[in-house]
Structure 1
Amino acid sequence: MSEHTALVVGGTSGIGLATARRLQALGATVHVVGRGKQRLDDVAASDPELIVHRADGGNRAEISAVIETIGRIDWLIISLSGSEGSGSVADLDFDMLRRAFDAKFWAHLTTIQAAVPHLTATGSITLLGAITARAGMPGTAGIAALNGAVEALVKPLAMELAPIRVNGVSPGLVDTPWWSGIPDEARKAYFAQAAQALPTQRIATADDIAEVTVVAATNANLTGTVIETDGGARLVSMG
């Protein structure tokens, strides 16, 4: 039996899946939660060592049922997101922004509340925000507020839930399926332009962020911290 058990909610693609793979490589028993049957089937086929569950992290009954079947959890990683929330404040669709908060912020809180009774005393919670929370990029007021709300949970929960550790990871531009709504050529052109503005001169991969997420989840001396892994996006103008 593995020494540690991890649960990655939102773990069927992108950063979540890359994190699940890294945790499994460390020898943990890793459970992955996703909403879409096709993605879950794909993960079951490509990564049979990962244990997949179908549930919505924002649905208390569904996520609680999954957690009950798992039992003890050492490392909880919440990598829930959505494609909505961007746009200039003059044109911002508040109904869209509310859906974005439901999909990410409220789903984070719902999952945390369901999981806390099952976390070990030496366990951890790691939340995925985004650098929009502090970078000052035009056209991101809504999504910045969303990610700021997620990241604002870290410090108070680190104190409230201690000795359980609570941390956040704040990525910048990452080449993941989050961008799948943009045509390939347009996405490549944007990434090429953005990379030139970044100090690192590159767009991150999902595995870059997963590496940091694993540190946040597993390092016994790290709590109440949001780790910025953004290629320096917060340092430059990305507008």
Structure 2
Amino acid sequence: MTFTAATVSVVIGGTSGIGRAVADALSQRPGTVHRLSRSAGLDISDPAAVAAAFAALGPVDHVVITAGSQAPGGPLTGLDLTAAKAAFDVKFWGSVTVAQAAAGHLRPGGTLTLTSGFLARRATPGTFVKTAMNAALEATAKLLARELAPLRVNVVSPGLTDTEAYAALPAEARQAMLDRARATLPAGRAGTPADLAAAYLFAIDTAFVTGTVLDVDGGALIA
């Protein structure tokens, strides 16, 4: 895709982690990048707030959604369903809310890129909420690629990525997590935000890619 001074990109979740890396990469190109997030005042679980944000932006060219949520883990039999629904409200329904609001503002040739996660297609006990949310997002992206065509809709599926999302972990636990990634992943390490940003740019730049799930997981699905 050609970027010009008039190109407008929007990164939901663009103030931290993977989203910040995507926004930083887009900022190296001509045009304007808007970084929207909860910390910047936008709650994507609020449809009215999302609609107002896009109305204020006007026409846009590329929308990337990286905003996530804290998902409860553990076996289904003991799952806190209230917390599970709250996680869905942010990551799944929040992404759908953004897609709905953005669709009417995307210019011809525009793109919408969602974010899932490798657990969508790796059956791992104790991860029901993440698995269900991410699988739903991947199915949604494929459907929207048909409904919104010729706008292009894709989804990036990250594996373990070393971001500040793990900042609350004790240093020893975080290091142990990264060591396990080095020992078990075919890529020999965890991902970085820059690794993931490259995938979002590929989805934006490659005009023949739509309805696609881009796995950027260091080989987690084959490990």
| Structure 1 residue corresponding to 2:19, chosen from 16, 21, 30 | 16
Cα-to-partner distance string for 1:18-72 (whole Å, 9 max, x where unaligned): 0001111122310010112xxx4xxxxxxxxxxxxx2111211211222112111
| Structure 1 residue corresponding to 2:188, chosen from 192, 201, 208 | 201
Q: Which residue of 2 aligns with 1:59?
A: 46
Cα-to-partner distance string for 1:163-205 (whole Å, 9 max, x where unaligned): 0000000000001122223222111112202321000010100
Q: Which residue of 1 aligns with 2:6?
A: 3
Once the 2 structures are TM-superposed, how far is the Cα of residue 86 of structure 1 from its aligned partner?
A: 2.3
Secondary structure of 1:174 counterpart: coil
Q: Which residue of 2 aligns with 1:25?
A: 28
Secondary structure of 1:224 counterpart: coil
Alignment partner of 1:226 is 2:196: no
Aligned residues: CA RMSD: 1.3
Alignment partner of 1:101 is 2:88: yes
Q: Which residue of 1 aligns with 2:61?
A: 74
Over 4 Å off, 4+ runs: none
Extract unaligned runs of 5+ from structure 2. none
Amino acid at match of 1:146: M
Q: Which residue of 2 aligns with 1:51?
A: none
- Percent identity, please: 40
Q: Which residue of 2 aligns with 1:129?
A: 116
Distance in structure 1 (CA, Å) of the matches to 2:123 and 2:222 = 10
Extract unaligned runs of 5+ from structure 1. 41-53
Once the 2 structures are TM-superposed, how far is the Cα of residue 140 of structure 1 from its aligned partner?
A: 1.1
Secondary structure of 2:104 counterpart: helix
Q: TM-score, normalised by structure 2?
A: 0.94
